[in-house]
Structure 1
Amino acid sequence: MEKCEEHAAHSRDIDRHDKRLDAHGGEIDDIRDCIVRLTALQEAHGAWQERADDRIAALEAKPAKRWETATNYLLTAVIGIVLGLIASQFGIN
């Protein structure tokens, strides 16, 4: 009789552990699915971030290009004026 009670206790414990194991298996599957989704989001964010950085760099470069263009025009005008003054000093009309 004693062995039957022990056997029943072991069976109950095994059943309880099996239920917990099944529950944890489901949780692990849920976590794995979550990791897959997070990885996809992270990859999408990385691509988006790259495009955003390129656009920001282009926007930040626009004022510098404008300033460089204005400086080039001003420098060309000053050089033209200086060459014109020099030419007029030598009598070249």
Structure 2
Amino acid sequence: MDSCAEHSAHERAIEQHDRRLDAHGGEIDELRECVVRLTALQEAHSAWQADADDRIAALEAAPGKRWESAINYVLTSVIGIVIGIAAGHIGL
């Protein structure tokens, strides 16, 4: 059976579309792999960022803790002195 000119043109067009579809399918697969790798990188970065934020917060809190300790020592000393003076006046 001989095919007419229109039919052969349709077959060529379909073959061309099939080739393009196959090529695009490969590109889609490559993009999917890229998305998977990017997602893994983003998750790793998020974990690193959370760890870095915790370390920065600890470093920023250190001077505040030192001041709290110093104030506690001063307050304890002042209270001790006041109690000592009061005990001295009472005769203890």
TM over 0.5, shorter chain: yes
* Length-normalised TM-score, structure 2: 0.90
List aligned pairs for 1:18-37, cutoff 5 A: 18-37=18-37
List aligned pairs for 1:3-82, cutoff 5 A: 4-82=4-82
Matched to 1:8, the amino acid is: S
Q: Return the alpha-carbon distance in structure 2 between the equivalents of residues 90 and 25 of structure 1.
A: 95
Query: What secondary structure is seen at the aligned counterpart in 1 of 2:4?
Result: helix
Deviates more, 1:71-80 or 1:50-59: 50-59
Query: What secondary structure is seen at the aligned counterpart in 1 of 2:64?
Result: helix
Considering only aligned residues, what root-mean-square deviation do their CA atoms show, in Å?
Answer: 1.1
> Which consecutive unaligned segments of at least 5 residues does structure 1 have?
none
Name the residue aligned to 1:89.
Answer: 89
Q: Which has the higher contact order (CA 8 A, sep 6+)?
A: 1
Matched to 1:73, the amino acid is: Y
The alignment-based identity, stated in percent, is: 69
Count of residue pairs the alignment pairs up: 90
Matched to 1:52, the amino acid is: A
> Which consecutive unaligned segments of at least 5 residues does structure 2 have?
none
* 1:29-63 CA-partner distances (Å, limit 9, x unpaired): 11101101111001101111111121112112211
Matched to 1:27, the amino acid is: E
Deviation at 1:91, TM superposition (A): 2.3
* Length-normalised TM-score, structure 1: 0.89
Deviation at 1:10, TM superposition (A): 0.7
